[in-house]
């Protein structure tokens, strides 16, 4: 099992020089590598893989786009070792025009949570005026009614950075959280840089 799943806070950081697709390093506060993700360019549908390290020896999570247009389809999060669908996420497209919302579904399609952009005022300011000057902050609420999980972008006009914070002892599947965080880092807001 990936050691990343033991952390309560980690940073997903896009690599600066990349030629054949986006690459992301997942590190702790001391910059120790806990995961590596590769997102290939020019794919009709996203197929994102998460590994333990940059050698890609141990693949432990797959995120696959369902439809050609991610605005309506969403993404499946799969544990490849167990060949197990952990669940799916899908953007609430029309509700996300002013404020981004992602719906979390279990493997049977039942809603188990919602990831919501921080506030309507900040969301509108980002879309109209400030763009990258106001990094996004998301709050993940689960149906278990526990403390929320947060994902916040760090201000950097060149490199995407996303800090994931999970309250200690939170029972939500950390593989699912990692998959959702990778979608936010790699896909959400694409083209708005």
- CATH number assigned to the domain comprising residue 31: 2.40.160.200
**Model confidence at 132: pLDDT above 80:** no
How does pLDDT run across 1-42, given as a tens digit for each residue? Answer: 468 888 999 999 988 665 566 889 999 999 999 999 987 766
On whether residue 152 sits in a domain, the answer given is yes
Q: Where is 27: in which H helix or E strand?
A: strand 21-27
DSSP 3-state of 62 = strand
Range of the domain at 77: 3-186
On whether residue 79 sits in a domain, the answer given is yes
Measured distance CA(77)–CA(86) in Å, rounded = 6
* Contact call for residues 138 and 153 (beta carbons, < 8 A): no
Q: Measure the CA dihedral 83/188/4/14, to 10°.
A: 120
pLDDT at 191: 43
pLDDT at 70: 57
On whether residue 155 sits in a domain, the answer given is yes
On whether residue 191 sits in a domain, the answer given is no
pLDDT at 187: 82
Among candidates 67, 69, 66, 70, which has minimal Cα distance to 78? 66
pLDDT at 176: 95
On whether residue 72 sits in a domain, the answer given is yes
On whether residue 97 sits in a domain, the answer given is yes
CA angle 184, 187, 193 (to 5 degrees): 100
pTM of the full structure:
0.87
How does pLDDT run across 72-124, given as a tens digit for each residue? Answer: 568 999 999 999 999 999 987 666 667 888 899 999 999 999 999 887 777 77
Report CA Rg, the chain: 16
Positive/negative CA dihedral, 115, 149, 178, 156: positive
On whether residue 193 sits in a domain, the answer given is no
Total number of domains constituting the chain: 1
Tokens 């969301």, residue?
123
On whether residue 83 sits in a domain, the answer given is yes
How does pLDDT run across 147-192, given as a tens digit for each residue? Answer: 899 999 887 767 889 999 999 989 899 999 999 999 998 887 554 4
């Amino acid at each position: 099992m990936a050691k990343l799943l033991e952390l309560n806070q980690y940073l997903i950081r896009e690599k600066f020089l990349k030629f054949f697709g986006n690459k992301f390093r997942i590190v702790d506060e001391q910059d120790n590598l806990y995961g590596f993700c590769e997102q290939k360019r020019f794919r009709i549908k996203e197929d994102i893989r998460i590994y333990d390290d940059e050698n890609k020896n141990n693949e432990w999570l797959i995120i696959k786009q369902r439809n050609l247009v991610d605005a309506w389809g969403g993404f499946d999060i799969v544990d490849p070792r167990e060949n197990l669908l952990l669940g799916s996420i899908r953007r609430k497209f029309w509700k996300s025009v002013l404020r981004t919302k992602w719906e979390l579904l279990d493997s049977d399609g039942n809603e188990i949570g919602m990831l919501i952009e921080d506030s309507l005022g900040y969301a509108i300011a980002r879309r109209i005026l400030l763009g990258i000057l106001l990094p996004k902050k998301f709050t993940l609420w689960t149906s278990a009614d526990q403390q929320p999980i947060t994902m916040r972008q760090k201000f950097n006009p060149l490199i995407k950075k996303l800090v994931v914070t999970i309250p200690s002892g939170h029972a939500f599947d950390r593989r699912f959280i990692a998959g959702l965080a990778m979608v936010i880092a790699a896909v959400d807001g694409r083209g708005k840089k």
